[in-house]
Structure formats: structure tokens, C-alpha cells
Amino acid sequence: MKKYLPVLLFILGLLVVVAAFFVVKSRKSSGIIEDESVPEIPLGERPYTSLTPTADGHYLKLEIKGIKVSGAESLDYELLYETKDEVTQGVPGSIMLSGKTSIDRELLLGSESSGKFRYDEGVTEGKLTLRFRNGGGKLLGKLSTDFHLQTDTKSLLSLDGKFSFDLDKASDEFFIVMSTFGLPGEVAGDISDGPYGIFSSGGDDFGGIVNMARMWDGSSWGELSGGKASGLGVFVNLASTN
């Protein structure tokens, strides 16, 4: 019997590995199915979301405001980005909402170990995903947007090619162009394009020409004459009522 023991142990180990493989595969498949089958979050329930780069470009400040997804008790966020060496990195997190309607987090583009920091240089684009879950962990809704991180430029562009903002002059500040999911304020009419937001390490005081017709001024959606914007912010186009 002893001479068969190594063979039996090998077979048992092989069965454990195979079983583990199928469990992991099943979980991944379930996650894909879960994401594919999740209902769309109505515009009125989507939180206004922004990523603002720091002056050195090493952190992105995530702000989520107006969280009101029905039944949501927790929020998962995931920031994925690609380094200049074409390596994909991720910054995940999970937050119990406990009635909170706004949250903010500083997300490091790099890693930290024992107080030592390594920064990923040359990051230019990535994806932000938010997932809302009920108390039992069931996925209630998902939001996802690409973001474009730019510096030393005059032309600010969204990765989907639908939004552009030409600065009056080039700047070495860091800028992010992204969808904000929700709106910073109510809009009268149906949105045909947007909302797109521009967030800068140097504030909002950058004028330019934008290919959108309206901009949020803090209290209303002002109409832009000839696309001329006095600063950065959030922009939309409204559907024609004709």
C-alpha cells in the first residue's frame, strides 16, 4: 500500500488543483454575467463624479457626490490605468455607505510599502468603474468611464473623441477629461451629449473654446456663445426641441 501512496497523493493534489481552477473560473464567469445583466442606473440617480489630479500628477482625488442609487448600501470603486511600459495597474476600494451621499478618496498612481512610495510615470489614460450593491452584496448598478490625463498641452480631448476643449494657451498643469456620470445640477431638457467634465491640478481658471453648448456655472446651465468658455467645468449639449 505504501508504494502506491505517492501516486494517490499526486492524484489527490491534481484533483484539488483542477477543482480550484473551475471554482475560480466559475466566479469570474459569474462576475461577467453579473456585470452584463445589471440594470442601467437612471440619469437622475447617477452621482456626480470627478477625478482631480494633484500638482505632481501622482494622485487623483476621487469625489462622488449625490449618491442616491435606490437600495445601495455599499459602493465598490475601481481605477484601472496603463503605465508608460504598457502595464495595467489597479486601485480598488469598497465603502459602506451607511447613509452617506458623498465620499472622497485620494488614489495613488503607484504603490506604497513601509512608507516608501513608487510612482507610475507617464500615465495618460485609464478607466473608473463604480458598482453599487445592496446589503446582501447583490449588484444594483454599475457606472464606468474612460479618463484622459494630459499635461503640457493646449488641446484637451475625451478618449471617445466626442468632446474637445482648446485652451487659450498651453499649460503644464495636469488635466483630466472624463464623463461625470451624473450632473452637478438639474438641467431643463434632454441631454444629447455629455456630461463631460475637465478637472485640473491648477483650478478652473482656464479659458478656451469647447464643442459643447452649455456649461454649469454653479447655479444653472449657461449657454456658451460660439463655444467660448471662461473656465473649466462640466459641459453638455441639449437635444433639439424642434
SS3 225: helix
- Mean pLDDT, all residues of the chain: 89
Instruction: Classify the C-alpha dihedral 13-17-18-22 as positive or negative.
Output: positive
CA distances from 66 to 46, 137, 235 (A): 8, 21, 18
Residue 240's pLDDT is what?
83
Closest CA to 170 of 151, 149, 147: 151
Q: Is the pLDDT of residue 16 over 90?
A: no
What would the grid cell of residue 178 be?
A: 472624463
**CATH annotation of 43-238:** 2.60.40.10
pLDDT digits (tens, 9 = 90+) for 119-161: 999 999 999 999 999 999 999 999 999 999 999 999 999 999 9
pLDDT band, residue 241 (cuts 50/70/90): low
Domain boundaries, the chain: 2-37, 43-238
pLDDT band, residue 14 (cuts 50/70/90): low
Q: By the 8 A CB rule, do 46 and 60 touch?
A: no
